[in-house]
Amino acid sequence: MDNQGQNSEIDWLPSSFHICSSSEEYITGIVSSEEDLKLLLESHKRATGTSYTVWSDDSQKKQKVTPRFLWKVEDYSKRIPLSVKRRVIYACQHGKNYKKAPKTEELHTEHEYISRRRFHIQSSKKVDCPAKLYVRYILRYDNFAVGDKSSRSEKQAAIKRLLESIKENPTATSEVIHVKIPLAEAHKKHNISENCHFSNKIHHEVRDKIHEYVSLGMTSVPFLKKVLKTFVQKELSGMGSVLPHPQDPSYYPSSHVIQNHVHQALLAGKYSGFDQLQLEKKIDEWKLTDSDAQFFFRQCTENYRDQTEIHIEVNAQRNGFPVTEDSEEDFEDKHTPEMTTSQETFLFIHQNKQQQHLLERYGDMVLLDATYRTTKYALPLFLVVVRTNVGYKPVAEFILEPALGAKVLHA
């Protein structure tokens, strides 16, 4: 901890974090458990107001039969053989947009590129910020430690003994987690200040909480806003000493964001599973909690249908607002032909009181937005939106089978 005095930026570091080194841009150190890592990353997020996305994670990689032994991992060395079990890299949310088309395409302003770009609503956030956060899970082979002034051959002998013993007993190790954390200086091309929280994504635990409440039938946005605030300040902050910034939307999402997550939770059927009978039950429940809402549900009559689920994380590809009028083009492209046409196709429509009101008031121009792959089911979600004085608002949403798509235009 000898460097701590130089840097007032790092007062927030939890005591379970043991610093290896620090510079203007990064600070590295060791924690000994997954809980300590969680606390560290949570404290870091709150103190710096920065948000990260997973850049790479090699945990899915096939494990080598014999690990690669090292005497040093980054700046961590204890005169014992080490191996890196897993490495996860997080990139600043303003980092490189790896979904972007190759550079050559960028030069020719091809039609294809332009039209694709329109659907990357978040691309404007990416400014190639190089800040990355590294997490390395290191295995220690403490029984094969060497002395202070051990020679190269002594080290080689230790590795040889280790290799021989590992055949018999491959788990004689302890584990530490090495973390390299970017500080404000590591971020380039965008500001890190209290005013920059606006673009932060919702905290995954806050998002899960919304889903939890929705599964219990609680969908009122003002109510959720209140309980989420309590959740963040009581439960979520029990683990970290630093309170989130009151303007950080990761912790205090706007009503609009909450509303979107409520709908996602409802439509994804995350807790009920895709069972039409259950959905019917759910609709009855929703009718009780929100008596003014309108529902329409028609069950599919063909019983032995192949339910091809698309396993994509519900929030991975959010298609937020404002919507573009061209969304229907997109719909044509992604038409999924594997869905069989049945006698009565599946149709679900939802509209709450507030939405009915909005439709009445702003209904002179109505847009239709098709959203794909936002739910785990291979069914498109349509949003009927109107332009209000505060931007585009959904006034109804419906899920249907693609075979019905053509009929939507006449509805």
Q: Whole-number minimum distance, CB 131 to Zn ion, in Å?
A: 4
Residue nearer to Zn ion on the CB measure, 129 or 181: 129
Residue nearer to Zn ion on the CB measure, 129 or 206: 129
Cα–Cα distance measured from residue 142 to residue 133, given in angstroms and rounded to the nearest whole number: 27
Residue nearer to Zn ion on the CB measure, 187 or 373: 187
355 CB burial (10 A radius; 0-12, 13-18, 19+): buried
Q: Whole-number minimum distance, CB 72 to Zn ion, in Å?
A: 28
Q: Whole-number minimum distance, CB 127 to Zn ion, in Å?
A: 8
Window of 27-35, 183-191, 223-231, 382-390 that interacts with Zn ion by CB under 5 A: 183-191
> 67 vs 84, 89, 105, 171, 177, CA distance in Å?
8, 20, 41, 12, 17
Q: Whole-number minimum distance, CB 100 to Zn ion, in Å?
A: 17
Contact 43, 13 (CB under 8 A): yes
Taking phi over 0 as left and psi of -120 to 50 as alpha, with beta for the rest, 26 belongs to beta
Taking phi over 0 as left and psi of -120 to 50 as alpha, with beta for the rest, 65 belongs to alpha
Q: Whole-number minimum distance, CB 261 to Zn ion, in Å?
A: 25
* Binding of residue 44 to Zn ion (CB under 5 A): no
Residue nearer to Zn ion on the CB measure, 140 or 180: 180
Which one among 45, 46, 94, 373 touches Zn ion, defined by CB under 5 A? 94
Q: Pick from 269, 287, 289, 270: which is nearest to 279 by CA?
A: 269
Q: Whole-number minimum distance, CB 198 to Zn ion, in Å?
A: 14
Residues 101 to 130 in contact with Zn ion, rule: CB under 5 A = 129
Residue whose entry in the numeric block shows the structure tokens 């005169």:
79
Q: Whole-number minimum distance, CB 95 to Zn ion, in Å?
A: 6
Q: Pick from 265, 259, 297: which is nearest to 279 by CA?
A: 297
Residue nearer to Zn ion on the CB measure, 92 or 232: 92
Residue nearer to Zn ion on the CB measure, 53 or 301: 53
**Residues making up the chain, counted from first to last:** 411
Residue nearer to Zn ion on the CB measure, 50 or 352: 50
SS3 content of the chain, % helix, strand, coil (to 5): 35, 20, 45
Q: Whole-number minimum distance, CB 48 to Zn ion, in Å?
A: 10
Residue nearer to Zn ion on the CB measure, 52 or 286: 52
Residue nearer to Zn ion on the CB measure, 47 or 129: 129
Residue nearer to Zn ion on the CB measure, 200 or 351: 200
Residue nearer to Zn ion on the CB measure, 182 or 244: 182
Contact 91, 52 (CB under 8 A): yes
How many positions of this chain bind Zn ion (CB under 5 A)? 5
Window of 94-102, 204-212, 224-232, 354-362 that interacts with Zn ion by CB under 5 A: 94-102
Q: Whole-number minimum distance, CB 49 to Zn ion, in Å?
A: 11
Residues 185 to 224 in contact with Zn ion, rule: CB under 5 A = 187
* Binding of residue 131 to Zn ion (CB under 5 A): yes
In one-letter notation, the amino acid at residue 321 is F
Q: Whole-number minimum distance, CB 36 to Zn ion, in Å?
A: 24
* Binding of residue 183 to Zn ion (CB under 5 A): no
Count of C-beta atoms within a 10 Å radius of residue 77: 12
Residue whose entry in the numeric block shows the structure tokens 């890592």:
37
Q: Pick from 375, 369, 314, 326: which is nearest to 346 by CA?
A: 375
Which one among 92, 266, 370, 400 touches Zn ion, defined by CB under 5 A? 92
Cα–Cα distance measured from residue 6 to residue 8, given in angstroms and rounded to the nearest whole number: 7
Q: Whole-number minimum distance, CB 177 to Zn ion, in Å?
A: 23
Window of 16-24, 180-188, 268-276, 392-400 that interacts with Zn ion by CB under 5 A: 180-188
Contacts of 154 (CB under 8 A, 6+ apart): 146, 147
Contact 27, 225 (CB under 8 A): no
Window of 21-29, 89-97, 163-171, 396-404 that interacts with Zn ion by CB under 5 A: 89-97
* Half-sphere exposure at residue 55, Cβ-oriented, CA atoms within 13 angstroms: 21
Q: Binding string to Zn ion for residues 140 to 179, with x set by CB under 5 A, is what? A: ----------------------------------------
Residue whose entry in the numeric block shows the structure tokens 């013993």:
165
* Contact positions vs Zn ion (CB under 5 A): 92, 94, 129, 131, 187
